[in-house]
Structure 1
Amino acid sequence: MERKAWMIKLKPEKIAEYKKLHANAWPAILKQISDCNIRNYSIYLREPENILFGIYEYHGTNFEADMARMGNDAETRRWWAVTDPCQEPLQSAGPGEWWVPMEEVFHLD
């Protein structure tokens, strides 16, 4: 098992919409996340900075393949088409980065 953490900005005018979408996440999306070996997935919002922080456990053996499978899923792409316009990459994001990875510097079980 490997923990992963990511950050992105949430557009202020999209906060209510984003919260509503995730309060009613589509069952097919939840299934796809699980099918791609992701467990214990949470997204947190920090206001007033409007930073989203996502953290999950990856329980698979090939993260890149699982993420490619997720990205190729039609329902996932449809979900991203409604959630992505709510977000904007951090200023420090590299080329092609959307959610930016974070480094774990401490953990206690």
Structure 2
Amino acid sequence: MSDETPTGVHRIGQVIRLRPEHAEEYLKLHEAVWPEVLDMITACNIRNYSIFRHGDLLFSYFEYVGRDFDADMRKMAADPATQRWWKLTDPCQQRLEGTPDGEQWLEIPEVFHHD
């Protein structure tokens, strides 16, 4: 996504592989996401955030309603609670081929949308 996002909603889909040996742990963590992590997601202008599972693939969808996605993602990455959360969830995931350096999830292009 470009650094500057126009006013409005930007829909983002991402994928990553779930390590089968960590699937139960990952699902358990997401049954009770820490409130401070959820608060940071909201503070970073992310709305309507979902993660779906198909076998060993995870698909996330969210809507970004801010003006500067990169700045909001830096804010999230600097948050101590989010860092602790990622230390638990990242080992459960395996980055897919083509995922940019410094990213965990691979953003995928939208091919169709209808309101």
Structure 2 length as normaliser, TM-score?
A: 0.89
Partner in structure 1 of residue 30 of structure 2? 22
User: How far did residue 13 of structure 1 move?
Assistant: 0.8
Partner in structure 2 of residue 55 of structure 1? 61
Partner in structure 1 of residue 6 of structure 2? none
Q: Deviations over 1:70-104 (max 9, x none)?
A: 00001100000000000010123243332001000
Comparing 74-83 with 85-94, greater Cα deviation is found at: 85-94
Percent of paired sites with the same residue: 48
Give 3-state SS (helix, strand or coil) of 2:109's partner. coil
- Aligned length, in residue pairs: 107
Moved over 4 A (4+): none
Confirm or deny that 1:67 pairs with 2:73. Answer: yes
Q: Give unpaired runs (5+ residues) of structure 1.
A: none
Q: C-alpha distance in 2, partners of 1:70/1:98? A: 14
1:6 to 14, 17, 30: 14
Q: Deviations over 1:40-63 (max 9, x none)?
A: 00000111xx01100000010000
Q: CA RMSD in A?
A: 0.9
Structure 1 length as normaliser, TM-score?
A: 0.94
Q: Give unpaired runs (5+ residues) of structure 2.
A: 1-8
Give 3-state SS (helix, strand or coil) of 1:64's partner. helix
2:52 to 44, 47, 52: 44
Q: C-alpha distance in 2, partners of 1:59/1:23? A: 25
User: Aligned AA for 1:61?
Assistant: R
User: Aligned AA for 1:98?
Assistant: Q
Q: Deviations over 1:1-43 (max 9, x none)?
A: 1111110000001111111101110000000000000000000
User: Aligned AA for 1:37?
Assistant: N
Partner in structure 2 of residue 82 of structure 1? 88
Comparing 94-103 with 80-89, greater Cα deviation is found at: 94-103
